[in-house]
Amino acid sequence: MGNAGERPNPRLRQQALGSAVGAGWVGVLGPALHSGAKMGCFTFIKVMMILFNLTIFLGGGTLLGVGIWVSVDGQSFVNIFGALSSSVLQVVNVGYFLIVIGSILLVIGFLGCCGAQKESKCLLIMFFSVVLIIFIAEIAAAVVALVYTGLAETLLRNLVTPLLKEKYGTDTSFTEIWNITMNEIKCCGLTNYTDFTGSPWYEETHGYPPACCGNQSPCNETLAAAKNVTGCFHQILEEIRTNAGVVGGVAAGIGALEVASMAVSMYLYCHLDKK
C-alpha cells in the first residue's frame, strides 16, 4: 500500500521524456542527415567531374591551336621544338595529328563538363560512350602496334610512303621535319631508302637524303644500299621497346584516367534520379 501512494520521481520522468524526444529527433533527422551525406558526396564528385573535364577542354583547345599553327607555319614549329623531332609524332603530319587529338579532347571535355554541370543524363551517357570507344580503340591500336608489328608497318607504309614520294623535296616544312627526324633517330625513310625513290628530291638530285647514307653526300643508290640504314618505323619501335617501362606507365596512367572518368560519369548518371 505504501508503494501505491508514492509519487513518480520527477527526474526519472524528465529522463524518459528526453529519451523519447531524442529518439523522435533521430527518427526525423536521421534520414535527412543520411540524405545530406549522399548529396554532399554527389556534389563533390560533380565538382571534380566539372574541373577535370574543364582541364581536358582547355588542353584540347591548346592542342587544336598548336595543330593549326603547325599546319599554317610548320617551319617555325620545327625551329622552336626541333629537339622534340625524335618523337613518334614526326613520322606523320604533326599538324593534322594535333588537330584531330585537340578536337577529340574538346568534344570529351565539353560533354563531361556540361553533362555534370547541367546534370544531363543524355550528355553524360554520350561522354561515357565516347571515352569507351576511345579506350577500346587505344587497346586495339596497342595490340596491333606491339603484337602485329607487320600489320602496323603495312598500314603506316600505305599512309606515309605516298606522302614521302609526293612532298619530300618540295614541301619545306615536311622535308625539314623528316630531315631532323632521320638525323636524330639515325634512320632513313619509314622502311628504308627506297621510300624516297620517285620523290621530288630524287628527281632533282638523282639520289637520296644524306641520312640514308650515314650523312654522306652525294647519297646514291649504291651507297644507300651498302649503308642499309634502318627505317624510322623500326627505329622508333625499338626505342619504344627500350623504354617500355615509361611507355607502359604513361599508357596505364591514361587508361586509368579513362576508366575513372567513365566510372564517375556512370555514377552521376545513375544517381541523378535519386537526388
Per-residue pLDDT tens for 242-269?
766 776 788 888 888 889 999 999 988 8
Quote the pLDDT of residue 270.
87
- Shared domain check, 213 and 153: yes
Quote the pLDDT of residue 235.
81
Quote the pLDDT of residue 128.
94
* Total count of domains within the chain: 2
- Shared domain check, 259 and 140: yes
Angle at 139 between CA 135 and CA 144, to 5 degrees: 145
Evaluate if residue 214 carries a pLDDT over 60: yes
- Shared domain check, 130 and 46: yes
pTM score, two decimals? Answer: 0.59
Which of the 8 DSSP states describes residue 90? Answer: G
- Shared domain check, 170 and 113: no
- Shared domain check, 252 and 142: yes
- Shared domain check, 164 and 109: no
- Alpha carbon distances (Å) from 15 to 7, 18, 19: 16, 5, 6
- Shared domain check, 98 and 109: yes
* Range(s) of the domain holding residue 199: 148-242
